[in-house]
Structure 1
Amino acid sequence: MTSRTLQLSDKRVAHYLEQGSGEPLVLIHGVGMQAHAWYPQIDDLSRDFRVIAVDMPGHGQSAPLAAGAGLQQFVAWAIAFIEALHAGPVNLAGHSMGSLIAAGVAVTRPDLVKRVAVLNGVYRRTPEAREAVLRRAAELRSGTIDVQTPLKRWFNAEEAQQIAAHKVESWLKSVDLAGYATAYTAFAKGDEVYADGWHDIACPALVLTGSDDPNSTPEMANQMAAAAHNGRAVVIEDERHMVNLTAPEAVNRALRDWLAVATQIEAHIEAQTEAPVEPLKSEV
């Protein structure tokens, strides 16, 4: 796995991990995490794809956005990052906050996105759920960080889950608090920003969550997948919010199935290739 940095058009530096070759697959983690949070997907999918896991602004080694930046600014950052890669349209996957960013890029710049995957994404929260995340965002902005509450919400007591929980705990404790607060506030206010745009997403769209995720619910996943032109919902039973870490085999299978879905351009090329060729008629 190679650690790289890239200077974006606004001179900010983005840090990312890269492994493998082939079609580019860009991964955007959730708030409070870092690019390493995709390690089970990097290890598996890099056998067949060029996997690029990027640190979100203000996380890991990526430069932060301005305090108060909203979801639109995070989407603009992701667009600048994809453009700076010079890799053409990419397969784009996000988890949690990263899924809001990925969906926003797919809505606003479909030319940059070959396929989009949303893992544990949120969509049109209830007023009660929105109030809860807004309270947590206010706590972070005040300088208070509660690591144990999300860990209890995301993981059960099983040994395999606790191994993942310890990794997540270390990332939460190392994240820059200001960057975390900015991203979490954008996340708390972002579930409606691109919600109407799901009807415009024409590329293959995977929407995946865990059956026991109370915030990124199966109902939300089904609604997003139904709104997209070529959407598919996958709900992994008995899993919670950090499903890419706690059920990596199931998540990797779903991602591989998604990456195998033909895009409209690929389907058109295949149809043209398979179409019978009429013999040329000679002129008399």
Structure 2
Amino acid sequence: MMSTTLQLSEPTRSVALRDCGQGPALVLLHGVGMQSAAWGPQIEDLSRTHRVIAPDLPGHGGSAPLPADSELPDFVAWLRDVLRALDLGPVSLAGHSMGALIAAGFAVSHPALTTRVALLNGVFCRDPAARAAVQSRAAEIAAGRCDLDTPLARWFGDSPTDIDARDRVAGWLKSVDPAGYATAYAAFARGDATYAGRLAEIACPFLAITGDGDPNSTPEMSQAMALRVRRGRAVTITGHRHMVNLTAPDLVTAELRNWLATPTPEEYPS
């Protein structure tokens, strides 16, 4: 899964991405602090039947950052630029955590370009305590104080699979550009309600997945999102936390395959 570089319209805006397989286009968006390699199990499997495109988010991996004051709609616009540069039409779109916020925003803003949308460990309308906690962490990251142990302890258990995934995630977090991380995390902290009131506009197949042990992207959030979408579906994976696509890769990939096989609006019976 070699990474390639895509040049956007502005000379300084480059995007690193993985582009594998042939078939209908599937775009995978990782979470804040991660990189496209975090989708490794899904890229390997789903690229057998789809053209899978997994970009590094701005300021992550090999992608150029967005300006420091960027908000969630700026990341949605960035994704539109990426798909335009790739000359893609409508795509199936799956995002994890911050990537889920971008995916939902894109589905709402560009319905004609979204065939399906899946949100993994997505946040939705945090309560005041959760919002205060994530905004406090955003301020710490912006100030250069980055505690990695606390989120890693929250995201992973003690199973061999969790430990292996934790080591990989720790490596990605340690290598992320601090400024790019701070920009993305601030947008993540403020973005959980940006498109929340418009989810009912989504007409394409919608899937929300999380782990029953994820305290911040809770099953209740996934269920609330799915209930707002005409053909939404929520799945809770028992015994897993925030990085379900790495700790339960086979279960997540199977759910994504089912989602990819769901009829699109044009195929729905009248």
Same fold (TM over 0.5): yes
Structure 2: how far apart are the matches of 1:226 and 1:83?
31
The answer for the alignment partner of 1:91 in structure 2 is 92
Aligned pairs (5 A) from 1:159-174 = 159-174=160-175
Aligned pairs (5 A) from 1:181-260 = 181-260=182-261
1:18 and 2:19 are equivalent in the alignment: yes
Structure 2: how far apart are the matches of 1:194 and 1:9?
26
Residue 92 of structure 1 aligns to a residue whose secondary structure is strand
The answer for the alignment partner of 2:102 in structure 1 is 101
**AA of the residue aligned to 1:8:** L
Residue 249 of structure 1 aligns to a residue whose secondary structure is helix
- What does the per-residue CA deviation read over 1:165-223, in whole Å, with 9 as the maximum and x for residues that have no partner? 00000000000000000000000000010001101000000111001100000010001
The answer for the alignment partner of 1:9 in structure 2 is 9
What TM-score do you get using the length of structure 2 for normalisation? 0.97
The answer for the alignment partner of 1:115 in structure 2 is 116
The answer for the alignment partner of 1:276 in structure 2 is none
Query: How far apart are 1:106 and its partner, in Å?
Result: 0.2
Instruction: Check conservation: 1:82, 1:112, Cα contact below 8 A.
Output: no
Q: CA RMSD in A?
A: 1.1
Query: How far apart are 1:21 and its partner, in Å?
Result: 0.8
- What does the per-residue CA deviation read over 1:86-120, in whole Å, with 9 as the maximum and x for residues that have no partner? 12100000000000000000000111110000000
Query: How far apart are 1:68 and its partner, in Å?
Result: 1.4
The runs of 5 or more residues in structure 1 that have no matched partner are: 272-284
Query: How far apart are 1:267 and its partner, in Å?
Result: 3.7
Residue 3 of structure 2 aligns to a residue whose secondary structure is strand
Structure 1: how far apart are the matches of 2:229 and 2:29?
20
The answer for the alignment partner of 2:53 in structure 1 is 52
**AA of the residue aligned to 1:33:** M
The answer for the alignment partner of 1:36 in structure 2 is 37
What TM-score do you get using the length of structure 1 for normalisation? 0.93
Structure 1: how far apart are the matches of 2:114 and 2:237?
25
Query: How far apart are 1:139 and its partner, in Å?
Result: 0.3
Aligned length: 269
- What does the per-residue CA deviation read over 1:111-164, in whole Å, with 9 as the maximum and x for residues that have no partner? 111000000000000000000000000000001111111110000111111000
**AA of the residue aligned to 2:210:** T
The answer for the alignment partner of 1:282 in structure 2 is none
The answer for the alignment partner of 2:141 in structure 1 is 140
Task: Determine what percentage of the aligned residue pairs are the same residue.
Answer: 57
**AA of the residue aligned to 1:5:** T
The runs of 5 or more residues in structure 2 that have no matched partner are: none
Residue 163 of structure 1 aligns to a residue whose secondary structure is helix
